[in-house]
Structure 1
Amino acid sequence: MNYLIIENALPAEVLAGVAAAIQAGPFESGKRTAQGMARAAKHNLQLSAAVHGQLLDRLALAIYSHPVVQAFAMPRMVGRPLINRYEVGMEYGMHSDGAYIHDVRTDVSFTLFLDDPGTYQGGELVVQTTAQTFTFKLPAGSMVLYPAGELHRVTPVSAGTRHAVVGWIQSRVRDAHQREIIAKLSLIPRTLSQDEKYAELATQAGQCVQELVRMWGD
């Protein structure tokens, strides 16, 4: 599976703004932004985008600008994210994300966990592929990125409250396997460039990486 975990994914001042917004509210039904069959599976709350739009746009920019996100997802754009809340009994059943959300093609999904995992029970992000199932319950401030087309769910919260930032990235390379190949090959010129005697080889390797981006990009 082509996924990535980034620890301490957002600057402290952005996280402080998120915490203040969560305290201020208001929250509304998460079904308002669900599409198709996902509407029936979605049982959560989300922070009002009408009230906190400026904060959500700051979050999108911070995620877009993260150097690891740039290398892994090669984002063309990051859609306005959501800040969701799961109280006791809430969950999001198995679903797949819509191919387009707010005119952004959803190539890569992300979930950024906002709470210490010891403060709530349940609420795991479960991503199911044809080969295996992955479960994520990460420390506060950590973010997982994964292909948006994979089936996934959030398990019921049985104690405490779970908050997370969720959103979608339109990549310059839409195919997840091709993005993975580019990301792995990109390590070669960066590593070779650290030794002067491999400078020419590093340049050639970097050229090959860029040719793949040209070949597969849209």
Structure 2
Amino acid sequence: MVIEIPELFEPTEVREIRAALEAAPWTDGRATAGHQAARVKDNEQLALDLPLARELSDRVLARLSQTPLFIAAALPARVLPPRFSRYDGRGQYGAHVDNAIFPVPGTGEHLRSDVSATLFLSDPADYDGGELVIEDMFGTHSAKPAAGHLIVYPGSSLHRVMPVTRGVRYAAFFWVQSFVASAERRRLLLDLDGAIQSVAGDHPEHAAVDTLTQVYHNLLRQWSQT
């Protein structure tokens, strides 16, 4: 299940974030990759302990908590603080699967990566290449959305970032431990939630609204892991 969430940040906000990233110091992105992923990773990242990285990460987390479609699609139990990447000069990230478990900085705890997410921070016209290509049970998807848009996809998927042959591609990326680990079940719940919203919008007093809502929450109760 690949979901595009438009305008998580508006264009003026994106320009402000990108200006901060353009002035930031960058480090080799392979330092944070797993053993296999490091072999195919060629990009730069902000150091996790950089004050700017923490500031921007908190800003993204705050916005996610106010975004109904993200909450409905990911059903987030925990979100790993977002990280920031930079690709240029044919930078790329070859086909890989994200680590299943990530340490949560400063807590001694760990997070299971049920959901992966990429927030695009460069306008598509500003760079060539750089598509996020995702292969999952639903097929192959290529994403290069407008700056400020978020792509949400299964953490279990094989995915890659195509080489950037012109310009610079900035992005934020992070992982989510969902209340529902199964991508198929999250898809069903998202479809059901959308149907409830549609019926409630057209016929708010219809008895089906209560019945569908009951089914949604009973499925969530049955499938959730807390």
Normalization by structure 1: what TM-score? 0.92
1:3 is matched with 2
Map 1:92-103 onto structure 2 (within 5 A).
92-102=93-103, 103=110
Q: Which SS does the other structure have where 2:133 is aligned? A: strand
Counterpart amino acid of 2:46?
Answer: L
Map 1:130-209 onto structure 2 (within 5 A).
132-194=139-201, 195-198=203-206, 200-209=207-216
Inter-CA distance 191–130: structure 2 relative to 1 (3 Å threshold): closer
1:23 is matched with 22
Q: Which SS does the other structure have where 1:140 is aligned? A: coil
CA contact 2:78–2:111 (8 Å) conserved in 1: yes
1:49 is matched with 48
Q: Report the number of matched residues.
A: 216
2:87 is matched with 86
How far did residue 130 of structure 1 move? 5.4
Q: Alpha-carbon deviations, 1:124-183, whole Å to 9, x = none?
A: 111123563211111111111110110011111111111111111111101000011111
Q: Which SS does the other structure have where 1:49 is aligned? A: coil
Consecutive unaligned residues in structure 1, runs of 5 or more = none
2:107 is matched with none
Inter-CA distance 120–82: structure 2 relative to 1 (3 Å threshold): same
Q: Which SS does the other structure have where 1:180 is aligned? A: helix
Inter-CA distance 4–147: structure 2 relative to 1 (3 Å threshold): same
Counterpart amino acid of 1:68?
Answer: L
Q: Which SS does the other structure have where 2:49 is aligned? A: helix
Q: Which SS does the other structure have where 2:187 is aligned? A: helix
Q: Alpha-carbon deviations, 1:76-101, whole Å to 9, x = none?
A: 11111111000112110110000112
Counterpart amino acid of 2:123?
Answer: D
Normalization by structure 2: what TM-score? 0.89
Inter-CA distance 40–214: structure 2 relative to 1 (3 Å threshold): same
Q: What is the percentage of aligned positions where both structures have the same residue?
A: 33
Consecutive unaligned residues in structure 2, runs of 5 or more = 104-109
CA contact 2:11–2:147 (8 Å) conserved in 1: no
Inter-CA distance 191–134: structure 2 relative to 1 (3 Å threshold): closer
How far did residue 47 of structure 1 move? 1.7
CA distance in 2, matches of 1:23, 1:97: 26
Q: Which SS does the other structure have where 1:169 is aligned? A: strand
